[in-house]
Amino acid sequence: MTKTSPDVSVRIVESLAANHVEFITTVPCKQLAGVIDLVDKDDRFRHVPSNKEDEGMGLCAGAWLGGKRPAIIMQNTAIGVTINALATLIQYYHIPLPMLISYRGEVGEKVACQVEMALHTKALLQELAIPTYHFHQQQDTDELNGILNHCFMAKKPVAVLMDAGFWSAAR
């Protein structure tokens, strides 16, 4: 199993904690496995694994309505199944939702079936008017605190895409 660099994983988790995220749902992801492992072992977070990304968004909505700051960790290949949950639940009710997303399917991808969704991910997020940030290098994580702060201030979802270049630099 591929794991992220401990330093990158720690920076991501510390950014979540610094922005008072208390509830995190995750869908299994090879590239984000190091982050997921840290979240699972960290008492600052209530970690609830999800079977599907749209289910995770429902859990995050419930956490927000229950007074907890949520986040979801997922792959971009499931953006398509989240459209309804994003538009009619997360956006309609002004729920801030940081989405930390492994961006599969670009140059460097080793699994051919991941490529198709990569062609549509950014366009779908743009169509929903969801601010999207694309991390290419490890130092891009320096922006995460500001992105998370803005997400919760504006009460809007935000997508942080982390591509193969980011993950290969993190190994």
Q: What is the pLDDT of residues 71-124, one digit of tens each?
A: 999 999 999 999 999 999 999 999 999 999 999 988 877 888 888 889 999 999
Sorting pLDDT into bands at 50, 70 and 90, what band is 1?
A: very low
Give the domains, in start order, of the chain with CATH numbers. 6-170 (3.40.50.970)
- Direct distance between the N- and C-terminal alpha carbons of the chain, in angstroms, rounded to an integer: 12
Measured at the CA of 40, the angle between CA 102 and CA 143, to 5 degrees, comes to 45
Q: What is the pLDDT of residues 35-47, one digit of tens each?
A: 999 999 999 999 9
Q: What is the pLDDT of residues 116-159, one digit of tens each?
A: 889 999 999 999 999 999 999 999 999 999 999 999 999 999 99
Q: What is the pLDDT of residues 8-61, one digit of tens each?
A: 999 999 999 999 999 999 999 988 999 999 999 999 999 999 999 999 999 999
Tell me, what's the pLDDT at 42? Answer: 98
Q: Are β-strands 97-103 and 157-163 bridged in parallel, bridged antiparallel, or unpaired?
A: parallel
Q: Strand, coil or helix: what is 27?
A: coil
CA 140 to chain centre: 15
Q: Strand, coil or helix: what is 20?
A: coil
DSSP 96-110: -EEEEEEE-SSTT--
Determine contact, residues 2/167, Cβ cutoff 8 Å: yes
For residue 5, is pLDDT > 60?
Answer: no
Which residues neighbour 100 within 8 Å (Cβ) at sequence distance 6 or greater?
12, 32, 35, 71, 72, 73, 74, 160, 162
